[in-house]
A and B are shown apart, each in its own frame.
Chain A
């Protein structure tokens, strides 16, 4: 597997008044294509800052983030926008759907930014919404949907343009445990289908167990970085394997 993301000696220092807060203190990390990588850390550990830097939403104080051979910390904002259009999908903790748009329109939005004609993106959006199990909610607006349904729209939106990488920032933070598992399963399944890569940030140890690889961050440093030998299986997969065993 090729190296997709390469982080070199990444530092981020915030200045609050006279005080310096070191959010990231020299991170070195490589994410391979096709991985489901979980960044695990407590609140204030610097995990979200790391994700922002990986996605080019912030500039580091020092160091570089090379994605697919391009150092995105050096890109101007317009280039970054195009870079994100082509390579990156996002899943947010609070869904961040457009309240005025229907599910189809929300999913089609990244495609609209790319300049795709309406008919074509509606077709893709419908397919995506079917894939996340929202066939009956296509014309609904976000306020007419539950949290889990909204997050599934968010996932459909993130994967609609078939990006190389999907970043998910606490995607299950606002969901109950049953929905959490459904949502995680969806993301992992779509990542595998697209042959993409998923970078998942969470504070929840149980969520991390579904990832191929777990990177623990404490106080802006990588505490441990290990392959998850024992990837937790989703309930549906367990029943499937049971069936085949029988």
Chain B
């Protein structure tokens, strides 16, 4: 038989007993709705949790901390540095290691971060004594650093190129005054921003070293710097985007070494970076990438360590909710089987006649499986449609009560979320349940003796 004929025969037979078909489909609709709505609550819970977590930090960021190994960085002017290198077997977190990490599948970008506290930036009489941070400029967009003014540094920019944080300009103070020498960056009553002492995009800046104690070298070099852009302040991502100054990592490494030398410190063996940040493509990559980095011998930290147990918990809740929904689908499945067995019982004679007229057994099986499958399919499709309605109702009426507890303050989180995979899952489960329910009746139909048909009544 042609597939189109099989299909139309199925539909025709379903339409023949409309009431029974509709009742059976309603069963599947209820089953599908309960599963989809239940799982959507779990998904909503999960999303609300993730939203809450991402406010605490970037979920796709892994930090590598290498403090055990000590290092060349973090030099105090008095020379009390370096807690000594770690064990000789300890891996070195250097550029080679970073390249290896960059090569891990799922890694979007890697950058070392070098924070120094003893460099000054000055512009005429105005002085900045905040953090100067070395970072791989080319990785900035991948890490989600946003430019507020100007542009990202580009390849071909001079070595002494800088980016400022959103409020770095307000960190400059007037060295000629003892009092009232800061500009506060809080906007005034009308929301107007006060002008800082320096105009970051056009003023000239010089970077110098700051020394403490008595061993101040006679000549301190100065480097002319130019600022190409201002980053958008994002304290969650990196507090240096608020008040810091960014320099290319390689430049800063060299400056740090020079400063150490001027301070009369002995050249330390390079034990690598202390702080490296890894950005991965998606949340699902975090655990694997983190494990790979741990396997290389480095200690890591990520939000995953908080997220994972929370997610496992919500998955558990999802499973329980889905299971509760599953019970009603099971009842619907029994309904389908019952309907099909009844209809086969009624159609025994027809089935026999079809066999006598040369219908293949496979076609008969397909016919009945198809009918059961259609019941599941239509039930699933309508059920998902209704689930969207229920979901919308839940969100509009219940989120007011529950939003505060699950969601994050401010935005009200949806308590029921139906993602696309749930639609596919719902359809697949409903149709699958139909087919499975139809299996026993279909085999029963196949086994009916063709002889039944031509026996006299």
A interface with B by C-beta (< 8 Å): 52, 55, 57-58, 77-78, 81-86, 88, 90, 92-94, 96, 98-101, 109-110, 112-115, 117-118, 157, 169-170, 173
Contact = CB atoms under 8 A, between A and B. Distances in A.
Interface string B426-439: 00000000000000
A64 B454 CA distance: 22
B355 A100 contact: no
Contact of B361 (A77, A96, A170): A77
Contacts of B361: 77-78, 81
B360 A112 contact: no
A115 B2 contact: yes
Contacts of A112: 1-2, 5
Given A84-B357, A98-B353, A113-B360, 17 more contacts: A52-B454, A55-B356, A58-B451, A82-B358, A85-B358, A88-B358, A90-B357, A90-B454, A92-B453, A92-B454, A93-B454, A94-B456, A96-B454, A99-B350, A109-B354, A112-B1, A115-B1
Interface string B362-401: 1100000000000000000000000000000000000000
B16 A100 contact: yes
24 contacts: A78-B361, A81-B360, A82-B358, A82-B360, A84-B356, A84-B357, A84-B358, A86-B358, A90-B356, A93-B454, A93-B456, A94-B456, A94-B457, A96-B453, A98-B350, A99-B350, A100-B13, A101-B12, A110-B358, A113-B358, A113-B359, A115-B1, A118-B4, A157-B357
Nearest to A158: B357
B349 interface: yes
A144 B161 CA distance: 94
B449 to A, nearest CB: 8
B357 A113 contact: yes
A83 B4 CA distance: 23
Contacts of B450: 57
Nearest to B360: A81
Nearest to B446: A77
Contacts of A101: 12
Contacts of A114: 358
B363 A113 contact: yes
B18 to A, nearest CB: 12
A81 B453 contact: no
Contacts of A82: 358, 360
A92 B354 CA distance: 13
Q: Which of A109, A112, A157 has the most CB of B within 10 A?
A: A112
Interface string B317-350: 0000000000000000000000000000000011
Interface in B1-23: 1-2, 4-5, 12-13, 16
A92 B453 CA distance: 9
- The prevalent SS among residues of B at the interface is helix
Contacts of B4: 118
Nearest to A108: B5
Given A57-B450, A93-B456, A100-B16, A81 B5 contact: no
Nearest to B356: A90
A86 B4 CA distance: 21
Contacts of B2: 112, 115, 117
Interface centre among B358, B360, B361, B456 (most CB of A within 10 A): B358
Give the residue among A52, A57, A86, A115 with the most B Cβ atoms within 10 A.
A57
Given A81-B361, A84-B358, A96-B349, A113 B454 contact: no
B341 to A, nearest CB: 19
B1 to A, nearest CB: 6
Contacts of A86: 358
A238 to B, nearest CB: 32
Interface string B164-199: 000000000000000000000000000000000000
Contacts of B1: 112-113, 115
Contacts of B353: 92, 96, 98
Contacts of B5: 112, 118
B355 A81 contact: yes
Contacts of A117: 2
B6 to A, nearest CB: 9
Given A84-B357, A94-B457, A78 B362 contact: yes
Given A98-B350, A113-B1, A118-B5, A57 B451 contact: yes
Contacts of B354: 109, 113
Interface in B401-457: 450-451, 453-454, 456-457
A57 B358 contact: no
Interface in B93-129: none
